[in-house]
Amino acid sequence: MTTPSQVLTLKIDGQDVTGRADETILQVARENGIHIPTLCFLDSLSPLGACRLCLVEIKGSPRLFAACVTYIAEGMEVLTKSDRLNKYRRMIVELLFAERNHICSICVANGHCDLQDLAREMGVTYVDFPYRYPRLGVDASHERFGLDHNRCVLCMRCVRVCGEVEGAHTWDVAGRGIEAHVSADLDFPWGDSDTCTSCGKCVQVCPTGALFKKGVAAAEMVKHRSFLVRLTAMREEAE
Amino acid sequence: MTKLKLATVWLDGCSGCHMSFLDIDERLLELVEKVDIVYSPLVDFKAFPDAVDITLVEGAVSNQDDLEKIKKVRAHTRLLVALGDCAVTANVPSMRNPFGVDQVVKRAYEENVTLQPQLPTQAVPPLLKRVRPVHDIVTVDVHLPGCPPSADAIFAALVALVEGRTPDVAALTRFGA
Amino acid sequence: MTPEELEKIAAKEEQARAHIPHTIDVCLGTTCMALQSDKLKTALEQEATRHPVGSKCQVRGVGCPGLCALGPLVTVKPEGDLYKQVKPEDAHDIVNSLGAEPVARLKCDTEQPFFKRQHKIVLENSGSIDPERLEDYIAAGGYTALLKCVTEMTPAEVIDEVVRSGLRGRGGAGFPAGLKWRTVAKAAGPRKFVVCNGDEGDPGAFMDRSVMESDPHRVLEGMAIAAYAVGASEGYLYVRAEYPLAVKRLKQAINQARAHGLLGANIGGTAFTFRVEVRLGAGAFVCGEETALMASIEGKRGNPRPRPPFPAESGLWQLPTLINNVETYANIPTILRQGADWFAGIGTSKSKGTKVFALTGRVHNTGLIEVPMGITLREIIFDIGGGIPDGRVFKAVQTGGPSGGCIPEEYLDMAVDYESLASVGSIMGSGGMIVIDDTSSMVDVAKYFIEFCKSESCGKCVPCRVGTAQMHTLLELIASGEGTRHDLERLEALCDMVKSTSLCGLGQNAPNPVISTLRYFRDEYESRLAG
């Protein structure tokens, strides 16, 4: 029987590594300087396993596993890079670009965007799927912040930080499938939300220019996320 | 050694990519030792030549003229380079796509016009239903994103192509760069 | 209630029936109800009061006898005559015929393969008992298995019996039921749940609906036995709200069973307690996926989550949870009553027992059938189903709903079980079986199913949310004749990617209809390509 604190040994990309039984493949990989691409994952938020970029191969299984939600096991052999994984990751990034209207050149987050960085990392220099061009709105009803649905990738970081860290649970997802979108309260304009504390955490954790501070121009929306790990650490200390 | 033939084409874009191309500055001299610029909005040839080695295409495919032009260019080009975000992703010109042509044309020629608002019937080529990236119409050999791609990126990519290598585009530029 | 009391109810019911020389059973399943069988029942009742012969007969509402294509269906007992397409105007003739010659114009041949080739376990009571009366179920042997389990068997013995029977999950994947039960039984913790997945959502599928409508107590008994075996005392029946009749009958059945001590505290006079509640699904297909279903029961948005942890270990409110499908539970009482060996003697080496299919599409006898595993597709479609109508030609049969695939003519003689269907690119699924003839284009069939998955995707993971939407776009392009070879290549790349990377079964199986039609009917795609 493994206990959470038990130390296990495994191989990631051929490298011998060790980790605690309650650590995920992603955690152990990062501790050992092995990079696995992620998008919905953010340290200190509950892992979601939704973007599927961190999928890895585990020897002995034909299935792929999301590194952010898969716990390590003794003797496990993990492969974080392969032609197959690269192909899928590229396609995931392409699908995200094709899904909504990501016009990078005029985006507030241009140059400070996780999606752009991923495209570069995956070597995505063009999108080989039909762009969908949905007609989506911009919610500018909040006094200090804006939400541009055209640039949202539905990573749910805002939903999680609002519910788990701020405790307000203003954000959630409404609609289904390709029609899904983040919504404030019961799909109200953000500015009318009774629950929003205007703390701005969602803006900072948003990977793209979907959530932004009002008044910033193209390429000016730099996101600051160090607060999240600090805040969580301080809360843990206080407990 | 015979020089390679280089062309540049301007579809629906702001010409920023061509400006960035010119920003290669004195390295243009290095370049023209290896290539002849046989067609470009920047030079005086009126017709697209028969056999071009490398063509840089700036801009998205937005109207009937663009469509015909890019097909012709592709037919006479060995290596087609989509230069900049408009050619690669349709970028800013594609922002009309969610709205549809009719609404966009009305907005431009009627709603926002105070003097003789009317829809154009001649001289303006008919708009396509959707603005499309170049690779949506013809095969593209190299995509060089950026708005615009930097002069360094364009130069490095051109040098690689002239030397018969595939440029490492992801290391040179990105969407929106 | 003790086993003896149960016997008394059964005996009393038999006695009461002995005084009624004739019964007229009217199907009150959804299909016949849609053809106004409820009005027919009223007409028969009125007619019975008017005629001297009628005073000797009882008109009952029963569940579905299966041949939906010819509804409303009426069965006259003890003669055993089945009448088809009966209208209220026919009530007079039917009542008058009792004890005399049957009504020839309405007679449906019960010797035809549709009836003779079936083997009914799950549906054994469907169409012959009144689903709204507990006594009817008890008279048919109902609840004896539950009382036998709780009074004579240990939970481990019950599980052994289910393991030995070889029963596999009927929801689609075919995971061995006994193994799942054993895992939940072994899970630590004083509080566990038993969940029944009645969120049947495949287009063209109505197996579970019919079981819940026609024999609701059977499902409850199966759940109670499962609860006893795994050590749970609480259960949820998750049924989609689009099945109002099933919901009504289940709720009624729960109340009846509770009133008779067959559910609730101290079942069979033992310490075993099992409370069960009906929870309604709002019609999202993804809520048939077990983790999404549990999120929905908990009152959350019905999104799936990655597994592991599996529900057996961490399910409802993070507690160990057994989740099986309606048909799986419906098999349980009979297995415990007749024994694991009897059950294991039916079917093939790896797939035991029977399977209920909803036979639909371009086939004569559309309806609900139950057949032994190992029967061939040809027997199902051409013998039981009666073949393709209007002189058309068979092209393919779609099994497993949106997660399944299309099987062409060359495999019609294959024996149906979990493995064989998977080997030809389809799945058993929950039991939808749609027959397609030569008038349909397979590109359109694939497009239909992808459109379904696209609109039913929850939107949580990227491959399913955007991938299915892009597949739909590409299929529309190809279907319209504007698609290129490159579009077809992209479509195939997406099939592989969505299948390999999606978070839950919905996305992982969504490409199957496209993959299987590409495998067997590629020329139909190619011929539509532009240029």
Kindly state the tokens that stand for C305.
């989550």
Q: Hey, how many other C-beta atoms are within 10 angstroms of the C-beta on A237?
A: 7
Give the pLDDT band (50/70/90) at residue C470. very high
Complete domains list, chain B, with CATH = 4-95+131-172 (3.40.50.700)
Kindly state the tokens that stand for A116.
């752009």
Yes or no, beta carbons of C301 and A172 under 8 Å apart: yes
Does one domain contain both C259 and C173?
yes
Yes or no, beta carbons of A103 and B88 under 8 Å apart: no
Residue identified by tokens 């860290």 is A165
Residues of chain A with C-beta less than 8 angstroms from the C-beta of B135: 126, 128
Yes or no, beta carbons of A105 and B176 under 8 Å apart: yes
CATH number of domain containing C413: 3.10.20.600
Does one domain contain both C288 and C378?
no
Q: How much is the pLDDT for B1? A: 63
Mode of pairing for the β-strands spanning B142-144 and B77-83: parallel
> Helix, strand or coil for residue B5?
strand
Return d(Cα C26, Cα C21) in angstroms, integer.
17
**Could you read off the pLDDT of C18-35 as tens digits, one per residue?**
888 899 999 999 999 999
pLDDT at C524 over 70: yes
Interface test with B, best of A89, A125, A129, A135 (most B CBs within 10 A): A125
Mode of pairing for the β-strands spanning C354-361 and C432-437: parallel
**C470 in contact with chain A, both atoms CB, cutoff 8 A:** yes
Q: How much is the pLDDT for C172? A: 82
Residues of chain C with C-beta less than 8 angstroms from the C-beta of A183: none
Q: How much is the pLDDT for C493? A: 98
> Helix, strand or coil for residue B145?
coil
Q: How much is the pLDDT for B40? A: 96
Domain end marker among C437, C452, C482:
C437
Q: Which among A52, A98, A173 is the nearest to C463, CB-wise?
A: A52
Yes or no, beta carbons of A180 and C284 under 8 Å apart: no
Q: How much is the pLDDT for B121? A: 83
SS3 per residue for A51-98: CCCCEEEECCCCCEEECCCCECCCCCEEECCCHHHHHHHHHHHHHHHH
Q: Is residue C174 in some structural domain?
A: yes
CATH architecture, domain defined by A104-238: 2-Layer Sandwich (3.30)
Q: How much is the pLDDT for C53? A: 76
DSSP string, C96-131: HHTTS---GGGEE-TTSHHHHT---STTTTTTTS-T
Annotated domain spans of chain A: 9-81, 104-238
* Nearest Cα residue in chain A from B139: A128
Kindly state the tokens that stand for C528.
């539509």
Domain end marker among C408, C437, C466:
C437
Return d(Cα C509, Cα C31) in angstroms, integer.
29
Does one domain contain both C397 and C452?
no
Kindly state the tokens that stand for C272.
């075993």
**Could you read off the pLDDT of C104-150 as tens digits, one per residue?**
999 999 999 999 999 999 999 999 999 999 999 999 999 999 999 99
Domains of chain C: total = 4
Yes or no, beta carbons of A105 and B147 under 8 Å apart: yes
Does one domain contain both C403 and C432?
yes
pLDDT at C152 over 90: yes
Residues 101-160 of chain A with CB under 8 A from chain B are: 101-107, 110-111, 113, 116, 119-121, 123-128, 130-131, 133-136
Q: How much is the pLDDT for A239? A: 81
Return d(Cα B142, Cα B76) in angstroms, integer.
16
Return d(Cα B8, Cα C497) in angstroms, integer.
37
Q: How much is the pLDDT for C275? A: 98
Q: How much is the pLDDT for C353? A: 96
**C307 in contact with chain A, both atoms CB, cutoff 8 A:** no
Interface test with B, best of A93, A103, A138 (most B CBs within 10 A): A103
Does one domain contain both C154 and C300?
yes
**B82 in contact with chain A, both atoms CB, cutoff 8 A:** yes
Residues of chain B with C-beta less than 8 angstroms from the C-beta of A104: 85, 89, 147, 174-176
Does one domain contain both C189 and C284?
yes
Return d(Cα C40, Cα C44) in angstroms, integer.
6
pLDDT at B120 over 90: no
Check if the beta carbon of residue C217 is closer than 8 Å to that of residue C257: yes
C105-130 exposure pattern, b = at least 16 Cβ within 10 A, e = fewer? ebebeeeebbbeebbbbbbbbbbbbb
pLDDT at B49 over 70: yes
Residue identified by tokens 């729960």 is C254
Domain span at residue C322?
141-343
Yes or no, beta carbons of C462 and A51 under 8 Å apart: yes
pLDDT at C56 over 90: no
Does one domain contain both C319 and C222?
yes
ipTM score of complex: 0.97
Mean pLDDT (whole number) for C504-511: 96
Does one domain contain both C175 and C34?
no
DSSP string, B12-62: BS-SHHHHHHHTTTTHHHHHHHHEEEEE-TTS---S--S-EEEEEEESBEE
Does one domain contain both C338 and C475?
no
| Number of CB pairs, chain A paired with chain C, less than 8 A apart | 98
Does one domain contain both C194 and C153?
yes
Residues in chain A whose Cβ is within 8 Å of chain C: 48-52, 55, 64, 66, 69-70, 84, 87-88, 91-92, 95-96, 98-99, 128-130, 132, 153-154, 156, 172-173, 175-180
Mode of pairing for the β-strands spanning C321-325 and C193-198: parallel
Does one domain contain both C433 and C446?
no
Q: Is residue C121 in some structural domain?
A: no
Name subunits touching B (3+ CB pairs < 8 A). Answer: A
Return d(Cα C83, Cα C364) in angstroms, integer.
17
Mean pLDDT (whole number) for C320-341: 97
Domain end marker among C404, C437, C470:
C437
Nearest to A103 by CA among C372, C197, B98: B98
Mean pLDDT (whole number) for C400-415: 94
**Could you read off the pLDDT of C183-242 as tens digits, one per residue?**
999 998 889 999 999 999 998 899 999 999 999 999 999 999 999 999 999 999 999 999
Enumerate residue ranges in chain A where pLDDT < 50. Answer: none
**Could you read off the pLDDT of C59-70 as tens digits, one per residue?**
999 999 999 999
Residues 434-463 of chain C with CB under 8 A from chain A are: 454-463
Q: Is residue C9 in some structural domain?
A: no
Does one domain contain both C432 and C474?
no
Half-sphere exposure of A127 (CA within 13 A, CB side): 29
Check if the beta carbon of residue A109 is closer than 8 Å to that of residue A151: yes
Return d(Cα B160, Cα B167) in angstroms, integer.
5
Give the pLDDT band (50/70/90) at residue C50. confident
**B147 in contact with chain A, both atoms CB, cutoff 8 A:** yes
Interface test with A, best of B12, B81, B85, B89 (most A CBs within 10 A): B89
Check if the beta carbon of residue C495 is closer than 8 Å to that of residue C514: yes
Q: Give residues with Cβ within 8 angstroms of C515, minimum separation 6.
A: C405, C425, C495, C499
Q: Is residue C465 in some structural domain?
A: yes
% of chain C with per-residue pLDDT over 70: 100
Return d(Cα C279, Cα C237) in angstroms, integer.
6
CATH of domain A9-81: 3.10.20.740
Q: Give residues with Cβ within 8 angstroms of C509, minimum separation 6.
A: C400, C402, C403, C404, C427, C499
Residues of chain C with C-beta less than 8 angstroms from the C-beta of A49: 305-306, 461, 503
* Burial (CB count within 10 angstroms: exposed 0-12, middle 13-18, buried 19+), residue B164: exposed
CATH number of domain containing C477: 1.20.1440.230
